[in-house]
Copies of this chain bind each other. A is one copy, B any other.
């Protein structure tokens, strides 16, 4: 089957570009230096390529992501880089501890208590390094680690996500701010102990030289989106939502990709050589730029999302295409949900 025969809207991955991005990052952060974040793709088929490139440890945002990877037999060391209080989900993770090394982030007495109650063996202290979200005050990190150890837990180290710095455009300022944030993490680490100092994302992955960070949690680099493309890294777009032109006239055209098949929190998607006017539930209204042929009914159109993570989470399957546009594989987006 070719892309031109796919039922749309459909997620299509460019296999070669995907592998190129994985290889590029593996050269920068080989093996355990990268703990790929699967929340960006939620697809064990992609995670399997990351394992093949040398990464066996993964970052996950939800229990479902960890349990799904274990079910798929992909990876061996999983970090739940998020706070969870749900007893049944934590218990399911605890039950899986004989199948894989599972480490759960905690940032409070409440999250520690929930992990203890569920029988979680390994934790990491999630430290606030400036993003107003989860994470304990760096000054209190050691105390929480001590409390965890008093329950017999293995405290593997610290993590801190400097998400507020991903899109800083001045590179010197960004580096300074990342290093300031990582100084907070290092300070917490000196109180906490353990082997792991985990941080980062695609937008800061190249700024950790001179810090104590020893694993980077990047995820978006594999597939990319228009927001991360602004940063000018060498990662290339490897995923699109494919649509079919269902209506067209002299002034505009409409495809069957809309805001139910695209993450919209970073704004409208892009279509090469065309201007996107607006998105509706099931439609994008767009027009060809000057010098580009007007779309015709039935034609397939490649849509580049503004934000990859929620877009992948909206689809059940990703179609893998070669450079001829032939579909060579179908990978379930099997890590969706919570």
Contact residues of A with B, CB < 8 Å? 7-9, 39, 61-62, 82-86, 88-89, 107-108, 110-111, 132-135, 137, 163, 244, 246-249, 251-252, 254, 256, 259-260, 263-265, 277, 279-283, 285, 297-298, 307, 309-310, 313-314, 316, 337-338
Contact = CB atoms under 8 A, between A and B. Distances in A.
Given A133-B280, A265-B259, A244 B86 contact: yes
Contact of A264 (B132, B248, B264): B264
Contact of A107 (B247, B260, B309): B247
A39 B281 CA distance: 8
A108 B111 CA distance: 58
Contacts of A89: 7
B260 A88 contact: no
21 contacts: A7-B338, A8-B338, A61-B281, A61-B282, A62-B282, A83-B256, A85-B246, A85-B298, A86-B244, A132-B277, A133-B285, A134-B246, A134-B247, A134-B254, A259-B263, A260-B313, A264-B265, A264-B310, A281-B310, A313-B314, A316-B337
Copies of this chain present: 2
B39 A108 contact: no
Given A132-B251, A247-B135, A254-B133, A7 B88 contact: yes
